[in-house]
Structure 1
Amino acid sequence: MRWTLKPKPTQEEIDNLSQELKVEKLIAQLLLQRGITNYEEAKAFFRPELSDLHDPFLMKDMDKAVVRIEQAIENEENILVYGDYDVDGTTSVALMSSFLMEYYHNVATYIPDRYSEGYGISFQGIDFAEDNDISLIIALDCGVKAVEKVQYAKEKGIDVIICDHHRPGDILPDAVAILDPKQEACPYPYKELCGCGVGFKLIQALGASKGITIEQLVPCLDLVATAIAADIVPITGENRVLAYFGLQVINASPRIGFKAILDQVNKKELTITDVVFILAPRINAAGRMKHGQHAVALLKETDLATAQKYAKEIESFNAERKSLDKEITEEALLQIQNNQEEERFTSVVYNENWHKGVIGIVASRLTETYYRPTLVFTKSGDKLAASARSVKGFDIYNALEECSDCLEQFGGHMYAAGLTLVEERYETFKQQFEKVVAETIDPKLLQPEISIDAKIEMDQISPKLMRILKQFAPFGPGNMTPIFMAEGLKDTGYARGVGEDEKHLKCALYQNGSTPIGAIGFNLGNKMGLVKSVKPFDAVFSLDENEWNGTVSLQLKLRDIR
């Protein structure tokens, strides 16, 4: 790991904020590093308010979208709510269709089949709309690059409203309205919404014309918070407000579908991290292993017994996903090891039999292992499809754009993307992608970085500090869990390996005679010798709480030791 200390604000800035907020200097430093410079900003950070949300009509085309939906309702047209098969897409479809169906019934939902249709708006989906006399499609979490598909719909007399958050291409589809804060001419102040977040803004705008207040929309923020967590968008600004209130809904009065999932895993108070690791994989598993429509059905269900039946099915999809994920990751790692005759800047692997629903997860695992921009390919119909994942600081979307002459289509973000190409272009693309990355990546990005907020002394760690740090949540990109570094540490002498193959490290650390604090280091069992040696060592950690037999104690969650 490459340890980097974040730049420290000036002492004057720290002193001023510390005095203004009446907090310790360490807290003032952490806040300044998050861009919080005064009392008002701190209040918005620690006490998010629904009034902090922006006016939805600031988004380009919002008025057009609302007028067209209201017209469809007035004329009793059939509306199709269309979304992608991942968490962001399925939560968006559940959100939008549930809202519309509260006061209008001619609403159908559609999730494309990952295998026969692929990502985004499909010709098959438009044919379905035509066959069912649907004249308006609301596309969520997809569509901003679907120029041909939207034209195809238009030729059939079907209007399309796009709610997306992906980067648009050079040409925009000829849709009735395009809601996407990332399009150039959009003045919307917050650019980092997920697809479900953009869908929520449309609901907010539709609600405003019906006298529905933002407070009345809070119960559906559980879906928005889940999408924010799963899509790994920054938890800053408006996303922070949506995630904060959405988490409260998940914990206080979760929808029946979430309750059915949570009953199976026996988890009470969920954090954003729990949403990422408990709710999101299960919702995703439906689209990966079977069909995304299963997830929509679960998220919209109002009867507990039925929801429990759906949740049980989804649990079995998730178990199947886990075993495939493990098997394919092992095969992919072997493929990389066998081709390691030269130093490469990328990891690109392909097997025509790999399950398309799992290649994104496998790409993430390979990136964790080899820390290279990574592509995992499989066969999809008569083409090859891939999931791309990047390393911190490198824009994989831009790299793919440089290779676009080899690709049939691609889309995504800085750190994750999807693409298809014809098999004959695979080797050419692989070489071109390697060349682009080699020429543009800063070599130090190929070593995993641990970003440290502050150096601290062990005697600064207290239950009071922990109480304040918990209020920094929800954590995520743009507001990560604070990471600390302490120097000259020693172990009390009882360090031991725990877990399977003793791969985790358990110890208690002190510094200059301070009171020892318990510590756990996941996957740090190999550092045992360093901890047990008589020499002092440095450690990087976050603060955590350990509950044992009803007693809660502070513990260090070790990230690295040297």
Structure 2
Amino acid sequence: MLLGIEKRSITNALWKLQEADQREILTLTQRFELPEILARTLVSRGVNVENVSDFLYPLIRSLLPDPFHLLDMDKAIFRIIQAIKNGENIAIFGDYDVDGATSSALINRYLKTIGMYSIIYIPDRVDEGYGLNVDALLQLKRKGIDLCIAVDCGTLAYQPIEDAKNFGLDIIVIDHHLGTERLPSAVAVVNPNRLDESSPYNNLAAVGVSFLLIVALNKSLREQGFFTDKREPDLFDLLDLVALGTVCDVMQITGLNRAFVLQGLKVMSARKNAGLRVLFDALGILEKPSVSRLGFNIGPCINAGGRIGEASLGARLLSTDDEEEAHSIALKLIDLNNARKMIENEAFLEATTQVAKSVKSNTNFIMVSGNWHQGIIGIIASRLKEQFHLPAIVISFNNGIGKASCRSIPGVDIGAAILSAKFINLIIEGGGHSMAAGFSIKEDRINDLHDFFTERLANSINDKSLKADGVVTVKAINLSLWNQLQRLEPFGVGNPEPRFIIQGAKIRKPEVVGVDHIRCFIADDNVMVKAIAFRSANTHLGSALMQGNVEAILGKISMNYWNGNEFIQFLIEDVLTIN
């Protein structure tokens, strides 16, 4: 059988068919009346008879932990309630990415529903950099702010928080980034990734931690009789923001996150958030919200303000209830995102040229640098990681200082590596988590950093493999199969969209569409299905498709929505070629 032979694909990947115990497959098909292909996919990703119900029907109420199990949650809630009772002024200080925007908007909207006014402050990526800074905090204090809630940042902001404490501004940190043994002198540091934290919920995005904060706050207010003469907020109405932040920060879509995203997509479908509703309409998205739409369409627009424009636009869009204001912000974000794409494509071409000159067969990571816009280096790092299947470090220099974004592959903890580099004073500042991180560095330390990563990642394994959930025929790729696979949603890290292999089929009528996509048909036994390979023109994959030199095809089954119509198609990711 073809799959029993180890053979490199056109992208130099090894295909691996996911293993699944046949007895467990049979048990699921019989006891839960599941199709064999669905049961096989479930078993291959660790779902069994004991947890299949939680996987297929995840309920927040059964999966949500007591938020007070997190260290310092009690301190954070005590201080916030004190601020509410005393009528103090509250600011929410968020990161400039989607996780920061959704976290900021989430807490802002909750406080608004209970009658508390709060402002949101998002720092400028270029002028202020990541996270808390003294100048901004001092500015907030002078405006009368008594309490600042830092979201998606703050765990490593030792000096800014110490300075804020000295001039009378209390800080609460709500974060999920990796910490060190030292904690900042904040009122509370609520972070499942604190080194002294034993919480199993270390895969939450900052917006997930922020949701636990408002669950704890709402519970405490209820117990203190706060809602005796007023309506208690429905916290589920805010899960659209939790879903958006979780997906766009590329968190594991398993366990509690899976429940957050699934329920959040349902809330999003109800179109209660004015900003999201207007943005969906402005982008012409007619179908129901999905993880892919959030990741590829909505998220990049929310991010665009923080990348190359006004950093606060995303948080403002998600916080407003004013339809006219939402429309104005949405159009600005769409324009900024289009401009971002142009800047990104130019920088990516320069970066890949550098990589082509430097990457050797035994290279375990990529490091490139240039005078690129700081707002797009994270995207460049992601694209390089995907293309070369290596940890990617992209550095933008300005006046002798480099700002870097890093993206990693499974098995290589880039966040821990950055913290180690900081510990030995190789970089100025830095932090992150296992799959994504960032740092700043003096230009004259770049060679030393390269040597550090060369040694640190010397034994890392980066052999590219693509896992498939099964083998299908062209005839089997239809609406019925697609509908069955949707029962596995939401997809994401930890629960990837199922991949399948088609053997022995032929490529028909290949053509380049758009800028660099290849559209074609896959044919077998007089049956054909539409297919597309994104960004494949001018690649080895694209050449194989254009020549029809294909022995087997690997990819995903998807629904294409176009001009109000919908049809099943196969997304081609890789092929085995005929010798």
TM-score, with structure 2 as normaliser: 0.88
How far off is 1:365 after superposition? Answer: 2.3
Match of 1:364 among 382, 387, 408: 382
Distance in 2 between the 1:394 and 1:135 partners?
41
How far off is 1:546 after superposition? Answer: 4.4
Code of the residue aligned with 1:317 in structure 2: it is L
For 1:154-303, list aligned pairs within 5 A.
Answer: 154-211=165-222, 216-268=234-286, 269-303=288-322
Partner residue in 1 for 2:118: 107
For 1:447-526, list aligned pairs within 5 A.
Answer: 447=464, 449-458=465-474, 460-491=476-507, 494-500=508-514, 503-510=517-524, 513=525, 515-522=527-534, 523=536, 524-526=541-543
Contact 2:242 2:261 in 1 (8 A): yes
User: Quick check: 1:313 aligned with 2:332?
Assistant: yes
Count of residues in Structure 1 that have an aligned counterpart in Structure 2: 549
Code of the residue aligned with 1:48 in structure 2: it is P
Partner residue in 2 for 1:414: 434
**Any idea what the Cα deviations from partners look like across 1:487-516, whole Å, max 9, x if unmatched?**
33345xx43224147751411322xx4844
**2:146 counterpart SS class:** strand
1:255–1:429 distance in 2 versus 1, CA, 3 Å: same
Deviates more, 1:309-318 or 1:194-203: 309-318
Distance in 2 between the 1:132 and 1:215 partners?
29
1:323–1:545 distance in 2 versus 1, CA, 3 Å: closer
**Any idea what the Cα deviations from partners look like across 1:51-76, whole Å, max 9, x if unmatched?**
13222222222222111100111122
Partner residue in 2 for 1:561: 575
1:430–1:12 distance in 2 versus 1, CA, 3 Å: same
- Give unpaired runs (5+ residues) of structure 2: 1-10
Partner residue in 2 for 1:424: 444
1:23–1:62 distance in 2 versus 1, CA, 3 Å: same
**Any idea what the Cα deviations from partners look like across 1:376-413, whole Å, max 9, x if unmatched?**
21235663211112234322223334433211111112
User: Quick check: 1:436 aligned with 2:429?
Assistant: no
User: Quick check: 1:27 aligned with 2:45?
Assistant: no
1:545–1:326 distance in 2 versus 1, CA, 3 Å: closer
1:506–1:130 distance in 2 versus 1, CA, 3 Å: same
User: Quick check: 1:538 aligned with 2:552?
Assistant: yes
Distance in 2 between the 1:416 and 1:203 partners?
26
TM-score, with structure 1 as normaliser: 0.91
Runs of 4+ off more than 6 Å: 212-215, 548-551
How far off is 1:290 after superposition? Answer: 2.3
Contact 1:115 1:380 in 2 (8 A): no
**1:15 counterpart SS class:** helix
User: Quick check: 1:138 aligned with 2:158?
Assistant: no
**Any idea what the Cα deviations from partners look like across 1:416-445, whole Å, max 9, x if unmatched?**
1100112221222123223322x122252x
Deviates more, 1:97-106 or 1:19-28: 97-106
1:139–1:514 distance in 2 versus 1, CA, 3 Å: same
Match of 2:404 among 383, 386, 398: 386
How far off is 1:214 after superposition? Answer: 9.6
1:214–1:409 distance in 2 versus 1, CA, 3 Å: farther
User: Quick check: 1:11 aligned with 2:22?
Assistant: yes
For 1:31-46, list aligned pairs within 5 A.
Answer: 31-38=42-49, 41-46=51-56
Distance in 2 between the 1:366 and 1:248 partners?
34
How far off is 1:134 after superposition? Answer: 2.5
Distance in 2 between the 1:129 and 1:65 partners?
19
1:106–1:560 distance in 2 versus 1, CA, 3 Å: closer
Distance in 2 between the 1:548 and 1:278 partners?
15
**Any idea what the Cα deviations from partners look like across 1:271-312, whole Å, max 9, x if unmatched?**
111111111111111111123212222222212122111112
Distance in 1 between the 2:489 and 2:201 partners?
20
**1:379 counterpart SS class:** strand
1:88–1:25 distance in 2 versus 1, CA, 3 Å: same
Code of the residue aligned with 2:336 in structure 1: it is F
**1:507 counterpart SS class:** strand
1:370–1:478 distance in 2 versus 1, CA, 3 Å: closer
Distance in 2 between the 1:501 and 1:131 partners?
51
Code of the residue aligned with 1:475 in structure 2: it is F
Contact 2:161 2:171 in 1 (8 A): yes
Contact 2:91 2:145 in 1 (8 A): yes
Distance in 2 between the 1:248 and 1:296 partners?
21
- Give unpaired runs (5+ residues) of structure 1: none
**1:542 counterpart SS class:** strand
1:463–1:339 distance in 2 versus 1, CA, 3 Å: closer
**Any idea what the Cα deviations from partners look like across 1:93-120, whole Å, max 9, x if unmatched?**
1111121123344522211121222111
1:341–1:484 distance in 2 versus 1, CA, 3 Å: closer
For 1:49-68, list aligned pairs within 5 A.
Answer: 49-52=59-62, 53-68=64-79
**Any idea what the Cα deviations from partners look like across 1:162-208, whole Å, max 9, x if unmatched?**
11111111211222222111224434342211011111111111112
Identity of aligned pairs, percent?
A: 32
**Any idea what the Cα deviations from partners look like across 1:10-43, whole Å, max 9, x if unmatched?**
22222222222122332222112232211x6222
CA RMSD of aligned residues (A): 2.5
Distance in 2 between the 1:374 and 1:108 partners?
36
Distance in 2 between the 1:294 and 1:165 partners?
23
Contact 1:505 1:525 in 2 (8 A): no
Code of the residue aligned with 1:159 in structure 2: it is D
Distance in 1 between the 2:298 and 2:266 partners?
15
How far off is 1:554 after superposition? Answer: 3.5
User: Quick check: 1:327 aligned with 2:339?
Assistant: no
Contact 2:203 2:252 in 1 (8 A): yes
**Any idea what the Cα deviations from partners look like across 1:322-381, whole Å, max 9, x if unmatched?**
221122222222333455689643322222x32111111122222233333222212356
